[in-house]
Structure 1
Amino acid sequence: MKPNVLHMIDSFEQGGSERTAIQLVRQLHESGRCRVRLACLQNKGTLREKADRLNLGEIPEYPLTSFYDRNFVTQLRRLGRFLKENEIDVIHTHDFYTNIFGMTAAALARVRARVAYKGETGGFRTPAQKRLERGAFRLAHRVVANSDAVRRQLLREGVPAAKVAQHYNGLDIKRVQIQSDVTRGEILNMLALPERRLVTIVANLQHPVKDHPTFLQAAARVRAAVPDAAFVIAGEGKLMADLRELAAQLGLKDDVFFIGRCEKVAELLSVSDVCALSSTAEGFSNAILEYMAAARPAVVTDVGGAREAVTEGETGYIVPAGDYVQMAARMIELLRDPKRARSMGERGRILVEAKFSCEQHLHKTLELYDELTVRPAATAQPDVALMPR
């Protein structure tokens, strides 16, 4: 019998975890192997249109204001009723907030298979948030880690090894493919970018952990060595004004292009010569996979699962976090040797297709659901002794 599966996401904004979740929901629905439902904490964002096209039925919203107020209890009761009325067999959450809310409600409703998710290492959560998350993981039957780096982090935090399932995010290659008849000049005009050699970073400007200042400091050194280089920052967030000011202080006012949230990622990457990641912490960066799938060489910081994707010197370069001098040197090297840059990019594309496809992500997810829904009930229980009372 097909299991009834509920996926829960924070919102429909264009974040990496949200895109990956909607992609997985679509694939599960199209597979016919389970009956899929979707719920959210915030009913906002441009991905809602894609979710609606799946015709999954009502997408309930459970707005939270705190984990400690009366509203949290009210929303738990609402979700509990939904889980029971729809006979949900598997709940699968996709981020910090849905982990805590979804695992708590599902444990109270005695959902037989509870799957949480971890897609980040250090640098994102306060000690209080980490305690809450550990409690949610105790209520889960499995915690999906999106890289081996995250898996190791979970083990260090005390999550039992048998409870952790490591699944790489799958990338839909179509996301970075463009029409073959579109020219570079047309794309540059569409994105309002100059006819220069472009170094691009795709990362939100919301959290300091993305460390755009290191990217900008590297850009200043690259600009001095490669006069026709320009730099593109794709993303939006509260740090935008500060980063613009820093770019001006570094003498890059006319060389750095802040293009905001980019709906034309494939087109942007197609005209980029080198791509970068400057984060001080990550789980497994979707941006790196997109760079590689678009056949672009990547210069990335040595954080999270970067080494699981980028092969040093073959598909890109890995530099220490915060080391703008080495980051700049690698960027300059690639800009000065476009033939080698293209070769590295092509090897990256081949690697993504072989190792990080969305089909593999779907296969591993279905295997996990089968394991959790057909095994004897006694082996399914989370660590009840550690549940909060």
Structure 2
Amino acid sequence: MAIKILHLIDPVIDGGAAEHARRLAREQSRSGYQVYFAYSLDAPPEKYVVLNDMGVRTIGIRFGRNMLKIIFLLRRILKEKEIDVIHTHHFRSDFYMALAAIGLPCKHVITVHCLYRHWVSNVSFLKKMMVYMYLYFAYHRSGRIIVLSPFVQRLTVATFKLKEQSVKQLFNGLDLEQMRISRNSVKEIRKKYNDSDKNTIILCVGVLAKHKGQHILLEAIQEVLQSKMITLLIVGPDSGYEHVLKRIHQEYHLLKSVHFIERQLDINNWYMAADMVIQPSLEDNMPNTILEAMFYAKPVIASALDTIESNLTGKNIAYLVPPSEPKALAKAIVELLENPREAKAMGRRGRKYLLQHWTMDRLVDEMRCWIA
């Protein structure tokens, strides 16, 4: 019989981590597993219901404040579906499932999408200790922790006093089946934002938030525009930070050169239409946007965060710059603009490396030993 896997995503996340979980569920279903996906009914349902057409059985859950009620609901699901493997994707879901699975013959896999120290950086000491104890319990009970970079692997082992063999670093993965584009749509995007075909289109994809560093990018773009013709497209949903970015946008007189665009379902076409992709995060794990840009052989400039740098350093597949330094970012943009042959070569190297290491089918294969 097929191994039954249940994914649980926390309602507070709806970005790259949630998309990664959905991609993994689809690929596991294609690989012969019987996959269930439990999600919050407060999340956009269309992102999860569509999984049913791909062989993934979805379960909507109403997350409330009654922790015991949620845990007993999850336990009932585990029993009724006779789940073999649980895979959780955020702090709260890690803890809930660790409790729900007590006494049941389920393996529990946890993917660490967000650093503990980042998540608790702005909370009280008491809440910080409470979250730490929750995670300490969940991680030690699971013994199967997946992280997306060598840096997070070392940090997780040290922070939670885990055995090294219980924390496995696996490369993030792209679902290549979902990377198709429409040539006509790509042409329309380029025509709309580069009608003279003289500007370079720079793309930044991600939720509009302070930790994503779009304000640093706007400062850098102001400097680049003094000598170069560029168009910057910032694509993503607002988390309450858009008004800050638009104020900077006006102060720097960037109205003609910088465009804010809401989340696009056809984001693949936007990557293909761009000449360069920038990921200016101040805090992040290993963003999907970097991988998606590499798939389309686009040169990438990214923040040299420990989580990103430990995956990319020494491979010459991305230009890494110190976070929070707009002058360094501007210098990197200008350097790639003035060296188009090297920019294209970097894009080709990135695509080659991605296809060798960062595909979803490879991730599923490497996970088999933990869920068999």
| TM-score of the two chains, using structure 2 as the length reference | 0.89
Matched residue SS, 1:331: helix
Which whole-Å deviations, capped at 9, do the CAs of 1:207-239 have from their partners, x for residues lacking one? x2212211111111111121x212111111211
Which whole-Å deviations, capped at 9, do the CAs of 1:181-221 have from their partners, x for residues lacking one? 437542335xx534331111111114x22122111111111
Contact 2:9 2:90 in 1 (8 A): yes
Matched residue SS, 1:230: strand
Q: Which runs of 5+ in 1 are unaligned?
A: 66-70, 371-389
> Do structure 1's residue 110 and structure 2's residue 110 form an aligned pair?
no
Contact 1:147 1:167 in 2 (8 A): yes
Give the partner amino acid of 1:134.
Y
Percent identical across equivalent pairs? 24
Q: Which runs of 5+ in 2 are unaligned?
A: none
Q: Distance in 2 between matches of 1:337 and 1:178?
A: 27
In structure 1, the residue matched to 2:26 is 26
Q: Distance in 2 between matches of 1:235 and 1:148?
A: 28
Matched residue SS, 1:26: helix
In structure 1, the residue matched to 2:223 is 221
Which has the larger displacement, 97-106 or 75-84?
97-106
> Do structure 1's residue 172 and structure 2's residue 175 form an aligned pair?
yes
Q: Distance in 1 between matches of 2:186 and 2:35?
A: 41
Shift of 1:11: 4.9
Q: Quick one: structure 1 residues 313 and 225, their matched pair in 2 at CA, closer, same or farther if it must change by over 3 Å?
A: farther
In structure 2, the residue matched to 1:375 is none
Shift of 1:357: 1.1
1:78-117 maps to which residues of 2 (within 5 A)? 78-107=73-102, 109-117=103-111
Which has the larger displacement, 125-134 or 74-83?
125-134
1:305-344 maps to which residues of 2 (within 5 A)? 305-311=307-313, 314-344=316-346
> Do structure 1's residue 40 and structure 2's residue 35 form an aligned pair?
no
Shift of 1:12: 11
Q: What do you get for the CA RMSD once the two structures are aligned?
A: 2.2
Q: Quick one: structure 1 residues 14 and 177, their matched pair in 2 at CA, closer, same or farther if it must change by over 3 Å?
A: farther
Give the partner amino acid of 2:81.
N
In structure 2, the residue matched to 1:76 is 71
Which has the larger displacement, 110-119 or 243-252?
110-119
Count of residues in correspondence between the two structures: 358
Q: Distance in 2 between matches of 1:12 and 1:59?
A: 17
Matched residue SS, 2:114: coil
Q: Distance in 2 between matches of 1:23 and 1:144?
A: 16
In structure 1, the residue matched to 2:118 is 123
Matched residue SS, 1:253: coil
> Do structure 1's residue 230 and structure 2's residue 231 form an aligned pair?
yes
In structure 2, the residue matched to 1:202 is 205
Aligned partner (choices 246, 253, 272) of residue 270 of structure 1? 272
Shift of 1:89: 1.8
Q: Distance in 2 between matches of 1:252 and 1:313?
A: 34
Contact 2:94 2:110 in 1 (8 A): yes
Shift of 1:306: 1.9
Matched residue SS, 1:299: strand
Matched residue SS, 1:123: helix
Matched residue SS, 1:305: helix
Q: Quick one: structure 1 residues 171 and 57, their matched pair in 2 at CA, closer, same or farther if it must change by over 3 Å?
A: closer
Give the partner amino acid of 1:83.
L
In structure 1, the residue matched to 2:8 is 8
Matched residue SS, 1:219: helix
Q: Distance in 1 between matches of 2:52 and 2:177?
A: 20
In structure 2, the residue matched to 1:377 is none
Shift of 1:307: 2.6
Contact 1:274 1:335 in 2 (8 A): no
Contact 2:88 2:97 in 1 (8 A): yes
Shift of 1:85: 2.1
Contact 2:29 2:55 in 1 (8 A): no
Give the partner amino acid of 2:91.
F
Q: Distance in 2 between matches of 1:156 and 1:58?
A: 36
Give the partner amino acid of 2:112.
K
Q: Distance in 2 between matches of 1:58 and 1:184?
A: 33
Q: Quick one: structure 1 residues 251 and 312, their matched pair in 2 at CA, closer, same or farther if it must change by over 3 Å?
A: farther
Q: Distance in 2 between matches of 1:4 and 1:60?
A: 18
Contact 1:285 1:305 in 2 (8 A): no
Contact 2:49 2:58 in 1 (8 A): no
Shift of 1:123: 2.2
Give the partner amino acid of 2:137.
G
Matched residue SS, 1:182: helix
Which whole-Å deviations, capped at 9, do the CAs of 1:284-334 have from their partners, x for residues lacking one? 111111111111111111114323443568322111111111111010111
Contact 2:214 2:245 in 1 (8 A): yes
